[in-house]
Structure 1
Amino acid sequence: MADEVDLTRPSAARVYDYYLGGAHNFAVDREMAEQAIGLWPDLPLIMQANRAFLRRAVRFCVDAGIRQFLDLGSGIPTAGNVHEVAQAAAPDARVVYVDSDPVAVAYSRSILAENPLTAAVQADLRKPEQVLDSPEVHSLLNFDEPIAVMMVAVLHFVSDSDDPAAIVAGYREVMAPGSFLAVSHASQDGQPEQAGEHQDLYRRTPTPMTMRTKPQVTALFEGFDVVEPGVVFLPLWRPVSLDDVDEHPERFSGLAAVGRKA
């Protein structure tokens, strides 16, 4: 693995792990994370709100009868990730994690080694055919049945030139009716003054960031019926309790939504 990893450049997956309090990161990742927090002190709260959205979205999908999940750009499955939430509610739930970072995938495989209903794939989500043709996906997931495709905090690492809408469509085309798409996405909406410096910082990584507006994020759900409450700031997507909603949800500068394929 060491031959594949550039330890001189931070990784978005490992930086995210650091924000969440995980241990699977390196000094270069921690340095970048601390620089980002210096520019945007709310970042750890935003990342935690994003993880909380993921948990709520997974529970929503399980309650809707979903028993299989494809988590694209998954990072490292630290505490509270898809398989833990899904299998706590439905022990037969199957989960495949996909990430392009070899370190994230190696850690994932180590963490998941004793769980036969999970797998981790190193692949580029921008190439749906590469992901969908992987042995792990064929082994665990059946696209003839409804599935939940998770794109949580990842599409902002897909540039406009790579056409995120076309990438989403590549997965939508193989999803059975009744499937769900869950998306969270960094946005300049809410705190535009912070966005520029934050995007500049991520240009140091192999995965520069492209923040998008609410209309742009909504457009990613073409072919899906967006469930209530629509595309909203992270804390506003089906909060467990109104006590969980910050009085200024716009400061979380991340948009979230879930759509159902008819």
Structure 2
Amino acid sequence: MTDTEFNPEEIDTSKPHSARMYDYFLGGKDNYRVDWEAAEKIEGLFPGVKETARANREFMHRASRFLAERGIRQFLDVGTGIPTQPNLHQIVQDVIPDARIVYADNDPIVLRHAEALLRGTPEGHTAYAQADVRQPETITDFAREHLDFTQPIALSVVALMQFIEDELNPYGIIQSLMRDMIPGSYLVLSHVTREFDPEIWERIDAIYKAGGTPVNARLRDEILPFFNGLDLCEPGLTLATRWHPDSHMRITEEVPLYVGVARKSSH
């Protein structure tokens, strides 16, 4: 179910869009010439961008499976992006068939594909909200209709907060989303970093800005505060391919992407 209907006129194909560019990097089909052109400019600056996108997706798979195997039955995925199989609910419901998943994204092209996000197991439950992370209370309100907030929930915020500028208080947004979740809940987060080549990221930011979405490739010390008040699971905040590597990984070389999974404790 969704909280609104898709209107094709809402899709702006006159300028590149970060979600469609990410879809292009993953080899998807839901992108336009304006997205290809911007994506190819970025690839010219950063030849490993496709591998970074894939490593990010693989981290989401591993982290979701990691939590499902530890009994987490509810997931709130914010900044879902254009569906690319396997989606989060497919990973989780493969472990826990009656798991409940809420997806949220503000991109109308994701809404167009929401039906794909709702095809879960018969015993499970999936829902989709057309909502903006910059208004976290609207996401929480929707999630309450589908998830049990008296039980642990995993908040998945993958490759999203890099698009939230400092003046919009990105750390406060995460704290707001986690606030009403009980101890035993988790945060799953990934974020690109400029640590290894800051000059290139300034040029990449200029390309994203042309599409109206700046990218903030933060340093590790700027990413760590997203986990304030939470207990990071081993191996802590680390590069994506170092987080619980397994035999399913296609990308094994290091990429400029920090990731972490952290638990909300009772202290």
Q: Name the TM-score, length of structure 2 as normaliser.
A: 0.91
Q: Do 2:54 and 2:251's aligned partners in 1 also have CA atoms closer than 8 Å? A: no
Cα-to-partner distance string for 1:141-194 (whole Å, 9 max, x where unaligned): 111110100010000000000011110110121111100100100111223342
Could you say which residue in structure 1 is the equivalent of 2:76? 70
> Post-superposition shift, 1:114?
3.9
Equivalent residue for 1:186, pick from 192, 199, 208 = 192
SS of 2:191's equivalent in the other structure is strand
Equivalent residue for 1:203, pick from 209, 212, 217 = 209
Alpha-carbon separation, structure 2, partners of 1:8 and 1:204: 11
Alignment of 1:161-180 (within 5 A): 161-180=167-186
Q: Do 2:55 and 2:251's aligned partners in 1 also have CA atoms closer than 8 Å? A: no
Say how many residue pairs are matched: 256
Could you say which residue in structure 2 is the equivalent of 1:56? 62
1:111 matched to 2:101? The reply is no
Equivalent residue for 1:127, pick from 135, 146, 151 = 135
Deviates more, 1:37-46 or 1:205-214: 205-214
Alpha-carbon separation, structure 1, partners of 2:249 and 2:97: 30
Q: Note the residue ranges of structure 2 that are not aligned, 5 or more in a row.
A: 1-6
SS of 2:38's equivalent in the other structure is helix
> Post-superposition shift, 1:74?
0.9
Q: Aligned Cα RMSD in Å?
A: 1.8
Alpha-carbon separation, structure 2, partners of 1:224 and 1:175: 12
SS of 2:227's equivalent in the other structure is coil
Q: Do 1:51 and 1:80's aligned partners in 2 also have CA atoms closer than 8 Å? A: no
Could you say which residue in structure 2 is the equivalent of 1:141? 147
Residue type matched to 1:111 in 2?
A
Q: Do 1:183 and 1:258's aligned partners in 2 also have CA atoms closer than 8 Å? A: yes
> Post-superposition shift, 1:35?
1.6
Alpha-carbon separation, structure 2, partners of 1:73 and 1:231: 20
Equivalent residue for 2:224, pick from 218, 223, 233 = 218
Could you say which residue in structure 1 is the equivalent of 2:52? 46
> Post-superposition shift, 1:3?
2.2
> Post-superposition shift, 1:245?
7.3
Residue type matched to 1:126 in 2?
R
Could you say which residue in structure 1 is the equivalent of 2:3? none
Alpha-carbon separation, structure 1, partners of 2:235 and 2:87: 23
Alpha-carbon separation, structure 2, partners of 1:163 and 1:77: 27
SS of 2:183's equivalent in the other structure is coil
Alpha-carbon separation, structure 2, partners of 1:154 and 1:138: 22
1:254 matched to 2:257? The reply is yes
Alignment of 1:229-244 (within 5 A): 229-241=235-247
> Post-superposition shift, 1:219?
1.0
Alpha-carbon separation, structure 2, partners of 1:239 and 1:261: 23
Alignment of 1:61-100 (within 5 A): 61-100=67-106
Q: Do 2:118 and 2:128's aligned partners in 1 also have CA atoms closer than 8 Å? A: no
Q: Note the residue ranges of structure 1 that are not aligned, 5 or more in a row.
A: none
Could you say which residue in structure 1 is the equivalent of 2:36? 30
Alpha-carbon separation, structure 2, partners of 1:93 and 1:114: 13
Could you say which residue in structure 2 is the equivalent of 1:21? 27
The alignment-based identity, stated in percent, is 38
Cα-to-partner distance string for 1:48-92 (whole Å, 9 max, x where unaligned): 000010001101110121111111111112112211111111111
Alpha-carbon separation, structure 2, partners of 1:19 and 1:128: 28
Q: Do 1:15 and 1:29's aligned partners in 2 also have CA atoms closer than 8 Å? A: yes
Alpha-carbon separation, structure 2, partners of 1:230 and 1:112: 30
Alpha-carbon separation, structure 2, partners of 1:217 and 1:89: 30
Cα-to-partner distance string for 1:88-125 (whole Å, 9 max, x where unaligned): 11111111111111111221x23135437112211111
